[in-house]
Amino acid sequence: MIVVDLSAVSMSRPDRPLLSDVSLTVSTGERIGVVGINGTGKSTLLRVVAGLEPPERGTVRRGAGARISLLDQGGDLPDTTALAAVGEGWEAEAALTRLGLGELFDRPVQQLSGGQRKRVALARSLLNPADLLILDEPTNHLDVDGIEWLEAELKRFRGAVLLVTHDRHVLDRVTNRIVELDRGRAYVHQGGYASYLDAKAEREAQTARAEDVRRNLARSELAWLRRGAPARTRKPKARIAAATQTVQSRAPGAARGAALDLHIAGTPRLGDTVIELRGVSAGYPDPAARGTVRSVLDRVDLALDPDERLGIIGLNGAGKSTLLDVLAGRLAPTAGAVVTGPTVRLGYWDQLGQDLDPALRPVDVVAGPARRPDWSDEAFLERFWFDKDNAWAPVGTLSGGERRRLQLVATLAQRPNVLLLDEPTNDLDLDTLRVLEDFLEEWPGALVVVSHDRAFLERTVTDVIIVDGSGSATRRPGGLSRWLADRAAAAVPGATPPSAKSGTAKSGTAKPGPGRHPTGKAAPAKSQSGGKPSASTLRHRLRDTEKELATLTRKRDGLNSRLEEAGAAADIAALARIGTELAEVTAAIEAVEERWLELAAESESG
């Protein structure tokens, strides 16, 4: 059954068009993901489909009696308790419990945090009987368990789903169609996230080939037009007009300018001591019992390396942001000590991007309160995909993703050598996420990330700390995927978790791991003749091997493309030359993969 049908819909903003002649049909059983860079109109499209905004042009038809449930960015809720806002019965209680709100049934909505309200709104949308479920960034503020529960609920839902999300795992596991918004146009791709990437790459390749053809034709037509004036008088006018149009036409420009460049020169070098927590306990005043402190962390020991890549994960409310606040010096511990090295320059990218003063301009944010903004601030912002209009426009006119990116700009402008990131993927588009991941791979400082984005954690961290809500914080080597595998194995009776097989110790606090001194600092690497390298050295080698493997893989993909072109052109000499080079690169990839497996096994056996 067709639930909603859009025909030639157009929408615009005062400074730019958003949607141009977009047509889309949503039928029962479909799972459609909407992607595109910030500001392309994703949320606008959802609101048009939901009937909250009428199209400026075009037609929106809805099936007779079609019921639509919407979760938008605002997440508006009635002035009731959390449970009453969702509904009655065990289903409402179960949904709130799975979203980490089991203790807040009777809490008034107005007393909830922004993230808690968003989860209540999500539960309300999921339980509202509907033929079409529209979700705008539903994974924001969800922990890993909540995201996995949401995936299961969406798979069970019998109606149609239309969602905007930056979570690549959700896109790949839930959706069967992707709608990509790009400069007003909508491109529909069959399949999930991986299929969308393949189709987008092919479309861009076809555009590049078409532009090459146009340029070659333009050169020949220009030579024809430039022949002597007597000859021109005898040329057909239609041919002259066609030639002129070919010469003057241009391929559509990129949606964004040059590649996003997050690197800022002058990152200070870190000394041996970065940040250390020694028997730290911390908490917040308990609103239910005045004069008491609700303990969140209990006697936690943690020492960051100069090249740390650490993720913090756990259920909502378990204490992840509390741990980050203690590391940043924003929250004083109730017991224990925090030691910060003298060379540390801290950058904290928290979740307060939406709280930037809406009257300020991006150039004001970058310049800071001590001076007036000038052209250098405008040029600096241009590197971060803020054009001149956006750089001098009020922050309140920016999209959520643009404000989030602006906060990242302000953080990096401080030239930190220790980065603390609290839910960095919220509201960022997929292009910005991939650039941020590439930047963090090469960034020469210590990194600590609180995130529930599984793809982001897999790319950026090597160890994770599990904050379980009981006060403990357990350091686990191997990153998120290793921890998830251990947890899945532990849920099977009689199974042995992979970490137990490899001898990884478990503890109640973030105690020093293999290859570390009792203080938590990285132990010096042993020589090849003197024994096994330290855990820190192994992590370095693993990251270097992964980078080498990525480089070789890109080279192999390029050679495969050249091989196809040579085959189409029947160029025997090129086929032989490229084939030989491809064989060498393939052999190199196999050797690097073997080296990576050896290093991974050595790391796990530590």
pLDDT tens figures, 349-364: 887 644 678 888 988 8
Using only C-alpha atoms, the chain has a radius of gyration, in whole angstroms, of 27
Q: 294-297 — which CB contacts under 8 Å span 24+ positions?
A: 295/334, 295/471, 296/322, 296/471, 297/322, 297/323, 297/326, 297/333, 297/467, 297/471, 297/473
Question: Alpha-carbon distance 441 to 547, whole Å?
Answer: 9
- Boundaries of every domain in the chain: 2-196, 256-345+415-523, 351-399, 535-604
The beta strands (E) that lie in 456-598 are given as 463-467, 473-477
Q: Parallel, antiparallel, or unpaired: how do β-strands 177-182 and 31-35 relate? A: parallel
CA neighbor of 49 nearest in space, from 30, 31, 69: 69
Tens digit of pLDDT for each residue in 476-501? 888 888 888 878 777 766 656 555 54
Least confident of 172-186, 381-395, 452-466: 381-395
Number of Cα atoms under 13 Å in the Cβ half of residue 305: 23
Paired tokens of 270: 């870190």
Helix axes 114-127, 144-156, angle to 10 degrees: 20
Residue 278's pLDDT band, with cuts at 50, 70 and 90, is very high
Return the bridge partners of 337, or none: 278
For residue 159, pLDDT over 90 is answered with yes
For residue 328, pLDDT over 90 is answered with yes
Q: How far is CA 160 from the centre of its chain?
A: 25
Backbone φ, ψ for residue 69 (5° rounding): -115, 125
Q: Of 2-6, 139-143, 425-429, 546-550, which has the strongest mean pLDDT?
A: 2-6
Tens digit of pLDDT for each residue in 12-43? 887 678 899 999 999 999 999 999 887 788 99
Residue 369's pLDDT band, with cuts at 50, 70 and 90, is confident
Question: Alpha-carbon distance 549 to 23, whole Å?
Answer: 41
For residue 513, pLDDT over 60 is answered with no
The answer to whether 421 and 412 have CB atoms below 8 angstroms apart is no
Answer whether 2-196 and 256-345+415-523 agree in fold: yes
Compute CA distances 473 → 25, 175, 224, 468, whole Å.
48, 35, 74, 7
Q: 2-196 belongs to which homologous superfamily?
A: P-loop containing nucleotide triphosphate hydrolases (3.40.50.300)
If residue 538 lies in a helix (H) or strand (E), which one and from where to where?
helix 535-568
Q: Of 30-39, 201-210, 226-235, 261-270, which has the strongest mean pLDDT?
A: 30-39
Tens digit of pLDDT for each residue in 80-105? 999 999 988 888 999 999 888 888 89
Looking at residue 289, its pLDDT comes to 63
Helix (H, G, I), strand (E, B) or coil at 280: strand
Number of Cα atoms under 13 Å in the Cβ half of residue 210: 11
Q: 256-345+415-523 belongs to which homologous superfamily?
A: P-loop containing nucleotide triphosphate hydrolases (3.40.50.300)
Compute CA distances 386 → 156, 353, 391, whole Å.
41, 16, 6
Looking at residue 427, its pLDDT comes to 77
For residue 536, pLDDT over 70 is answered with no
Q: Does domain 535-604 have CATH number 1.20.58?
A: yes
Looking at residue 242, its pLDDT comes to 62
The answer for residues whose C-beta is within 8 angstroms of residue 599's C-beta and 6 or more apart is 538, 541, 542, 545
First-last CA distance in the chain: 57
Output the CA angle 167-173-179, nearest 5 degrees.
65
CA neighbor of 35 nearest in space, from 451, 475, 302, 433: 433
Question: Alpha-carbon distance 495 to 497, whole Å?
Answer: 6
- Percent share of the chain, pLDDT over 70: 80
Q: What mean pLDDT is reported for the chain?
A: 80
Helix (H, G, I), strand (E, B) or coil at 221: helix
Looking at residue 606, its pLDDT comes to 59
Count other C-beta atoms under 10 Å from residue 446's C-beta: 23
Cβ burial 456-475 (10 Å sphere, 16+ → b, else e): bbebbbbbbbbbeeebbbbb
DSSP 8-state secondary structure symbol assigned to residue 383? T
For residue 532, pLDDT over 80 is answered with no
Looking at residue 223, its pLDDT comes to 67
For residue 506, pLDDT over 50 is answered with no
Question: Is 238 exposed, middle or buried, given 0-12, 13-18 or 19+ CB atoms closer than 10 A?
Answer: exposed
Tens digit of pLDDT for each residue in 106-150? 999 888 877 888 899 999 999 988 999 999 999 988 888 889 899
Question: Alpha-carbon distance 354 to 284, whole Å?
Answer: 23
